[in-house]
Homo-oligomer: A and B are copies of this chain.
């Protein structure tokens, strides 16, 4: 059975008009589907409003206790529930989840030898039985980038990783297409030229482009996640522009990541 897992980034969430257009397209995708959304700038705005200072350690954002509260509010509250309500308005029977809901994604607080990232989660397991149960009830699942550790702690978790872990965990029961949608048309040969989309990319070409520094920094974790998903049994991974979702799923736009 087909399952589309689509990740949208913060830049779409932050733009009401673009989000509405995307949700029209997403609601129209046939069959079983999961949407994973990132955070966007609203969390920073709310944190600033509440006088919570963003902690940076070596240039990396740290999720301290106060920031975790804001992340939970904004990602699992505002953003998730608004997307769910807007999908319902489009006739798409959506349900919003964090990893704590139905114990759907179990994670642990990141352990790092040098940096304390705070309340950031690295995923341990996906509850495929429960998620399959929801999909069988004809629900479209909308995931906020928040997981839990099973001991009462919520954890801020990278949305790209969640999408990849869901694809992997559900890849055993479904024929999964994983789409990372973002602001570019796909993996570009020339970062400045939107028409230079690479249609297909395999691991050897990826290594080559990375060695030549032709792949820009933000792309690397996305591609690493994509190849990890493919290695663990996901059928298809596509990277491209959110507004082109139907074309991406049909393999007519974006970059398709292949294993060979």
Contact = CB atoms under 8 A, between A and B. Distances in A.
Interface stretch (A33-41, A68-76, A160-168, A204-212): A68-76
Interface stretch (A46-54, A219-227, A229-237, A244-252): A46-54
Interface string A113-139: 000000000000000001001100101
Given A49-B49, A84-B98, A152 B89 contact: yes
Contacts of A73: 46, 73-74, 77-78
Nearest to A153: B85
A64 interface: no
Interface string A83-99: 01110110001111110
A102 interface: yes
Chain copies in complex: 2
A74 B69 CA distance: 9
A85 B49 contact: no
Interface stretch (A143-151, A176-184, A190-198): A143-151
Interface of A is mostly: helix
Contacts of A86: 152
A72 B84 CA distance: 12
A154 B85 contact: yes
Contacts of A133: 137
A81 interface: yes
A103 B75 CA distance: 20
Interface of A: 46, 49-51, 69, 72-78, 80-82, 84-86, 88-89, 93-98, 100-103, 130, 133-134, 137, 139, 146, 148, 150-154
7 contacts: A76-B81, A81-B154, A84-B148, A86-B152, A88-B148, A88-B152, A96-B98
